[in-house]
Each structure stands twice: as C-alpha cells, then as structure tokens.
Amino acid sequence: MKAHFTTAMQPLFVLMWSSAFIAGIIGVGAAPPMMVLVGRYVIGGTLLLLYAYAVGARWPRGNTLRHVVIAGLLMQIVQFGAFYTAMSHHVSGAIIALIQGLNPVVIALFAGFLGETVTARQWAGFGIGGVGVALAVADQSAFSATGLVLCLIGLLGLSIGTVYQKRYAPQVDSRASTAVHAAASAPIAVVLAVTTGQWQIWDVPHFAAALTWIVLVNSMGAFLLLNAMLRRWDATRVGRLFFATPAVTALLAWLLIDQPLRPLTIAGLGVGLLGLVLASGRSAARTARPRPVPAR
C-alpha cells in the first residue's frame, strides 16, 4: 500500500496543485486577494496545527524552526499573495501556471547550493518542458506589466522557499512543517488585509466554496504532499513536476469553467510530457563533507 501511494504522489500532487488556480480565480472574484489569504491561512493553519498535534508530528525547534518559518513565508505569503493579486488584475490561471511552471528551472539554478548536479539530459528536459509550457498557454489573453511582475515575484517566492527548506530544514516532519508554514503566514495575511483595506466579501457562496477547496485540497493536501516529497527526493526531481501544471490547469479550466482547449494547448501537453521524460533522471549528488546538523 505504501509503495502504491508513493507512486501516486506525483500525479496526485500535480492535479491538486493545478486545481488551486481554478479555485483562486473563483476566490478573488468573490473577495479581495488579501482576504483570500486570510481565509486560507487562518482556517487552514488552525486545521493543520490540530492535525499535526493529533498525529504526533515532531515539531522543529530552535534554528530549525526559524528556517521552517522563513521557508513557509516565502512559499506561502510571497507566492500566493503575488499570485492572488495577479488574478485580481485579470491574469488568467493558465498564464500564472505558465510562469510558475518555470519553477524547476529556477530551482536548477540553485542546484549547486544544495549539493546536487543537474545533468545535460535534465537541462534538455527543462528546455523542452519550458517550450511545452509556452505552447500550452500561447493563445491566452495578454496581461499587464504589473501582472507579469507579480507572477515573477510569486515564482521567486516558491522557488527560493523550496530551495531554502531543502537546504536548511530537509528532515523536518512534513506534517509539522506544513502546519508551521500556514500558522506563521496567518498573522501576516491579517496585517496585509487590514493595512490594504481588503477586508470584505461580496459573494459569500462562491467565496465559501473556493475557500473550502483551497484550504482542504490546496493548503493541506498539496503542501503536505510537497513537503513529504521534499523529504524523499532531491529538489530538482520535485521541482520538475511544476512543468505539468500549466497543461493540467488548462484542462481543468476547460472542464470546470468552460475555457476553450485549443490545438496549441494540446500540442503543449505532448511537448511538456517529453520534457518531463527527459528530465526524469536523478540529479547526481556531489561528494562533500557533511554539513553540521542545525540545532533544534
């Protein structure tokens, strides 16, 4: 059973992560982006803390806790604050997924910092995967310069946060680290919502539906899987899964919110899959002296 679940982790993660773009668009259509952040982390953080305590998760302490908090703020507040705000500027979920799909390339640039070596075959896979990502959303509507900058900020938050956690807190219990990420983000989200005046909801039913999905499936399920995979595999192997999210997002948008699925999107699916296959080789670990274990 455990072996089957490990095999299913990667496609399940891609599906759960991709659905976040659809739920996010619905959410920011019903409330301001910072209010979506508040709901995501106040509710999600509470549930994750209760879950982690219930299952007896081992909590990080000392410097390790500080590293987990920093990684969490990058992966949560910076990433989703920027992406939700971009959605409120009418940037489509597919475009955001396209830019987020560059995550494995950014992570690969930091591979040396993690003691990993990216092979020529993996670089080729990254390049082909990037072409597939571009094809999958090439016919989407244009977006503003502000939207582009916000998307790039969100990408950097995710990529740097992933690398930071892999470098400084790789062995932390994934259930505890996910709870810490959300709990640490909750007060920051509240402050952002209050200071920007984004403290209202104009479509309660749609907001509640989107938030339920975001909290249970995205904040809890997807990030529990992400942190669990970061414990098992190297960062480039985990990062390359993001190449699949734009095409899957386009499929979900077609099925759920009636966005058209055009020939370029279908072509992108095939090219992106080829990139994933080429990039599927394991990164080589460099021989180095062991680093001191951070204090807990």
Residue-wise pLDDT for 153-210, tens only, equals 999 999 899 889 888 888 888 889 989 999 999 999 999 999 999 989 999 999 999 9
Q: Answer whether 86's CB lies under 8 Å from 150's CB.
A: yes
Partnered with residue 117 across adjacent β-strands are 284
Distance, in Å, from the CA atom of 229 to the CA atom of 4, rounded to the nearest integer, reads: 14
Label residue 228 by pLDDT band (50, 70, 90).
confident
The pLDDT of residue 245: 79
The pLDDT of residue 110: 72
Position with higher pLDDT, 249 vs 183? 183
Per-residue pLDDT for 83 more than 90? yes
The pLDDT of residue 292: 40
Label residue 236 by pLDDT band (50, 70, 90).
low
Q: What's the DSSP call for residue 285?
A: E
Confidence (pTM): 0.80
Per-residue pLDDT for 120 more than 60? yes
The pLDDT of residue 78: 96
Within 8 A by CB and 6+ apart from 233, the residues are: none
Domain ranges of the chain: 2-114+142-234
Q: Are strands 284-285 and 116-117 parallel, antiparallel or unpaired?
A: antiparallel
The pLDDT of residue 290: 40
Per-residue pLDDT for 102 more than 50? yes
Residue-wise pLDDT for 34-60, tens only, equals 999 999 999 999 999 999 999 899 999
Matching residue, tokens 């072409």: 131
Per-residue pLDDT for 93 more than 60? yes
Distance, in Å, from the CA atom of 177 to the CA atom of 199, rounded to the nearest integer, reads: 28
